């Protein structure tokens, strides 16, 4: 939530993108060796989206990498996966070495 009590639009967008990818993954009727990994990480992303606070960008990116690795070869999921990536990009990279304010 923001200071005014409104939901953070980045979090709302992330939740919607994750929900879409979860639905599309559920519709895939083939053998995906790493389906469980993708489902677990999508569940974690969904939980972060309803947690109330903006998620940690590094944790979001880690989950995205795991999901992409698990389902990356399924071209039918590429648009939905791209939507999750774009939603995660809204959170930026987060603080890291050398990313502080310039002197």
Q: pTM score, two decimals?
A: 0.82
Q: Per the structure block, which two tokens stand in for 20?
A: 């879409």
Structure tokens at 81: 């996966």
**3-state helix/strand/coil string of 13-64:** HHHHHHHHHHHHHHHCCCCCCCHHHHHHHHHHHHHHHCCCCCCCHHHHHHHH
Q: How big is the chain by its Cα radius of gyration, in Å?
A: 15
Would you write out the chain's pLDDT as a tens digit for each of its 103 residues? 555 567 889 999 999 999 999 999 999 988 888 999 999 999 999 999 887 677 899 999 999 999 999 997 889 999 999 999 999 999 987 554 444 444 3
- pLDDT for position 92: 87
- Report pLDDT for 102: 42
């Amino acid at each position: 939530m923001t200071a005014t009590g409104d939901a953070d639009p980045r979090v709302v967008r992330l939740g919607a993108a994750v929900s879409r990818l979860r639905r599309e993954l559920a519709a895939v009727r083939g053998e995906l060796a790493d389906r469980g990994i993708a489902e677990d990480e999508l569940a974690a992303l969904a939980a972060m989206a309803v947690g109330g606070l903006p998620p940690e960008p590094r944790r979001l990116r880690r989950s995205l990498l795991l999901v992409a690795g698990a389902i990356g070869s399924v071209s039918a999921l590429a648009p939905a996966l791209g939507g999750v990536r774009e939603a995660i990009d809204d959170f930026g990279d987060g603080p890291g070495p050398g990313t502080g304010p310039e002197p």
